[in-house]
């Protein structure tokens, strides 16, 4: 419980043949501290615990195939689907007396559709993702206790007209969960700044709206088109 920390990751998207792309995602490093949710043989519930390792938590290293079916210049909006698989490459280490590791294994399959297009006289751009994740051989991820579980992966965003010439405000709402034991609901005000034709800077403040997951944080991302 009450994890405070940070995660760094890398995300590479490779487009090909006009309507296809591959996405390679790798969570690089996670570090933080938390409190124990239950007693162990040597520690008690509520004791402090340090966690770190060369991986992430719910977002495993993954490879995703994406196929665009409809294009905005012909159909008024973009529409595509994606399918991917991921795995936990390494565990998160802890300083527990018994040397137990957190999230030391796990597999995930991902499937979904995504869409985007302009609305309200092209003043706002709407983006949506309607996906599903299936985890198996996982460890310590599901508050319900089962190592095999499914989770809806919904995302919606609004990109508004820029402030000045380049600073784009964005409002994003995300949900990851099974509408029961696991519920991660996050509202993210964001700012997007295209530094040049090849570089883009993003910043966001994730705000948890109850349930599990982050309650408050800061994210930053540097994008490079090459």
**Polymer length in residues for the chain:** 226
Mean pLDDT of 61-70: 97
**Based on C-alpha coordinates, what's the Rg of the chain?**
19
Mean pLDDT of 107-122: 94
Tokens read off for 150: 């499914």
Name the one residue in this structure whose structure tokens are 């210049």. Answer: 73
Select the more confidently predicted residue: 95 or 178: 178
Contact (Cβ atoms closer than 8 angstroms) between residue 25 and residue 62: yes
Select the more confidently predicted residue: 53 or 81: 81
β strands within the chain, DSSP E: 4-16, 20-35, 48-53, 61-70, 78-87, 93-94, 107-119, 124-136, 149-160, 168-177, 183-194, 199-204, 207-211, 219-224
Give the span between the Cα atoms of 60 and 72, in whole angstroms. 31
Within 10 angstroms of residue 4's Cβ, the number of other Cβ atoms is 11
pLDDT over 80 at 63, yes or no: yes
Contact (Cβ atoms closer than 8 angstroms) between residue 166 and residue 197: no
Contacts of 143 (CB under 8 A, 6+ apart): 181, 182, 212
Q: How do residues 8-51 score in pLDDT, each as one tens digit?
A: 999 999 999 999 999 999 999 999 998 887 777 677 788 888 88
Mean pLDDT of 107-134: 95
pLDDT value for 122: 85
Name the one residue in this structure whose structure tokens are 């340090």. Answer: 50
Of the CA atoms within 13 Å of residue 158, those in its CB half-sphere come to 11
What is the torsional sign of CA 10, 89, 64, 145? negative
> Residue 148 burial by CB count (10 A; 0-12/13-18/19+): exposed, middle or buried?
exposed
Q: How confident is the model at residue 85 (pLDDT cuts 50, 70, 90)?
A: very high
Name the one residue in this structure whose structure tokens are 């018994």. Answer: 98
pLDDT value for 20: 97
Q: What is the pTM of this model?
A: 0.87
């Amino acid at each position: 419980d009450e994890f405070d920390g940070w995660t760094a990751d890398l995300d590479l998207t490779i487009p090909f043949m006009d309507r296809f792309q591959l996405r390679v995602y790798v969570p690089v490093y996670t570090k933080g501290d938390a409190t124990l949710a239950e007693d162990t043989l040597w520690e008690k519930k509520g004791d402090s615990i340090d966690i770190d390792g060369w991986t992430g938590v719910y977002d495993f290293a993954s490879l995703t195939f994406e196929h665009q079916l409809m294009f905005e210049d012909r159909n008024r909006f973009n529409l595509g689907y994606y399918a991917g698989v991921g795995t936990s490459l390494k565990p998160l280490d802890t300083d527990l007396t018994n040397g137990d590791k957190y999230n030391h294994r796990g597999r995930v399959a991902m499937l979904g559709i995504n869409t985007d297009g302009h609305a309200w006289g092209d003043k706002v751009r709407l983006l949506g993702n309607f996906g599903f994740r299936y985890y198996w051989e996982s460890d310590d991820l599901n508050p319900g206790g089962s190592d095999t579980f499914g989770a809806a992966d919904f995302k919606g965003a609004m990109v508004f007209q820029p402030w000045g010439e380049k600073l784009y405000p964005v409002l994003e709402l995300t949900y990851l969960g099974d509408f029961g034991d696991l519920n991660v609901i996050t509202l993210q005000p964001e700012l997007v700044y295209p530094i040049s034709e090849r570089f883009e800077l993003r910043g966001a403040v994730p705000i948890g709206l109850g349930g599990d997951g982050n309650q408050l944080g800061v994210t930053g991302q540097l994008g490079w088109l090459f």
